[in-house]
Structure 1
Amino acid sequence: MKPIRLILIPASVDDPAPWLILGEDGQVRERGVLTPEGGAAAPASLRTVAIAPGAETTLRWVDLPAGSPAQLRAAAAWTMRETVAAAPDRLAVAVGPAAPSGEPRLVAVVSRALLQAWIEHLEALGVRADVILPDVLTVPEPEEAEALNAVAFGDGLALRGRRFAATVQPDLADLVAAGRSVVPIEDPAAVEGALAAAARFPPLNLLDAVEPGRRAGGGWRRAAALAAAAAVSPLILVLAAALRDDLAARSIETRTRAQVLQRAPELAGADDPAAALSLKARTAPPPGGVSAAAAALYGAVERVEGAELDILVAEPGEGVKATISHPAYADMEAIRADMTRAGMAVTVTGTLDDAGRVVSDITIGAL
């Protein structure tokens, strides 16, 4: 295996792009940064692997039939049509290597425009990538099924489990983990070793979605037709047949769900994504975490004459909760307005009268 240059694509074009040169044994030989103003030119013998921000890519493991690369991408696009909730001509779909018989295959979906922007940014740095890989796929899978390995990349936290990969805001890690233990990998040598291993044997290449000769356009109808042509799988045949009956209904549903899923693509499997997003906002940690919520709430309560904070608790997956006693019902509107100015949402979950005072139970979340 020839040497590899590994480049981290920065979140902003104004930031430098760190790089490593890996020898044939996978050990780091050189390191540096690239900027549009100049950087070390890579020898032609180097294979270049670029690591992209994982938060911009949707990753799933799905059942796919046998077929050509184009047919597999079309089948994957059709299978994930509701998960991504976007027009197919705006998406780039890449499929991982063949899995053992009966096991699902890794599929990645990313905005075609964003993928092209990454390619052009690398070219501006004087680099032509052979592979573009989401950073979350460099995180090793955990040994335990009920665990998630976590690595921080910039402002995001890359979480990797068994057939699970997503980059999230750190404050949402416990919510996304859904009861699984989150195991942080913080040792720089371990992170670097994981990057090197993924660069040597990438589990997926986003550039497969834009390989020469790939036909563009055609919408979901073309994706469904290619999926059916590839299918020996009854699942794909059923999906292709169902298209004739419900394409119009799905189109309407997709448009209404698109805004919600663009903000929170992980809610694609929910029966009512709008309601699920509302619940998530109420229970997600507020900006700045529990300490910031406590400080803002204490200040808001102090500004209401006669109000008292009785209870303040924080529970993973249930958000920050509090109980406030105050003289009048209108007091909660003043407290809510103060919290809104602090960038936090207050939801009143219960109210009762107690000896001439009002007792309100609230949940504090993100706006």
Structure 2
Amino acid sequence: MSRTLVIWLPPVAALREENTPYPAWLRIDDGVIVDSGQDDGWVGAWETPQDEDADGRLVALAPAADVPLRWLHYPDAAPAQAAAAARIDALKDSLGDAASLHVVTGQPAGEGQAVPVAVTTHAAMAAWADWLKARDLAPVAIIPATAAVPPPEPDTLWTAEIGGEQVIRSADRAYLSDPELDPLIAGNHAVVPLDSDRMREALLLTLAAPPLDLLSGGWKPKRSWSVDAAMLRTAKLLLVALIAISVLVPVIYAIRLAADTGRADEAVVAMAKKAGVAAPDPAAAEAELDRRLAAAGGGPLAFSVPASALYDAMGDAPGVSLKTLSHRTDGTLSTTLAAPRVEDINQVLLALQARSYRITAQPMAGSDGQQMANITIRAVP
């Protein structure tokens, strides 16, 4: 449910009095006026709403005594240009120092439409701001009360009571009624009372789509960041879920890895059993297989393992040649390498060390001027 509380701001002259009268007010629920008055009856209903899920807003109406309204026409100007021109013309036509005036213009919806212009003072805005602040009220908009009076029929003027003020509305102006000046301003035009039902409908339309807002320029409220309780709860739940997922992912991965490792260990033990090796775990099975292969002259201690690594390393050093090669049963490969430069032999040694072989080297000079080295390579990394 949407709720709107409308409060008429007191005239500036009334604020100077010792006892400021209660403002006129009305409450609107879902576009229907449900309560009104000119007392403090709005306070309880606004501060303690019946519906906790209600979407409420406060709109203040500025009195006609302090904010008259004009409509200026610029048929050939675009809406933005018309609004700028209306502001300049309103300042030209206003009395007093321009710096003390607060001029607000609306922007017409289309080209050729009239531009509403409200003129008040910064002193009045400050007085209303203090009055609202003293009551902990923060309206979303301050609309001139005269903006709610619809335009009259041709050759007539409306007179309507709004917020305890009698307002006159002509084709291009809306202002506070003055019994002595009204006949002079009306001239030969008839002043016709506006039907209360029509005035009520016009007020509701104005509140739904305000033609202008006095809370603009220097009086525009500064944006304040507020934390929505529901969004905060959602953010907390998302944070908890993120932490839980962050913890569960590695835990699940570890469980799956442990399960896969267990299955692999069982498969190794089963394969070793088929080979006649009875072992309680894969490490024991691997040790027993290495022992049997070593005894048979195979496995990682076989000649082919370090010899293959040696030939691969020599493939990256074309200048290195093999002079002698022998193999012992403990898996050690002995060889003599020759090369034009010591750096070429070192390249082979570094390649073997990169493959985690244990290397010993004893350099010596060859009879043909080449560099030579006696090298041993441990077959087991």
Higher relative contact order (CA 8 A, sep 6+): 1
TM-score (ref. length: structure 2) = 0.48
Larger radius of gyration: 2
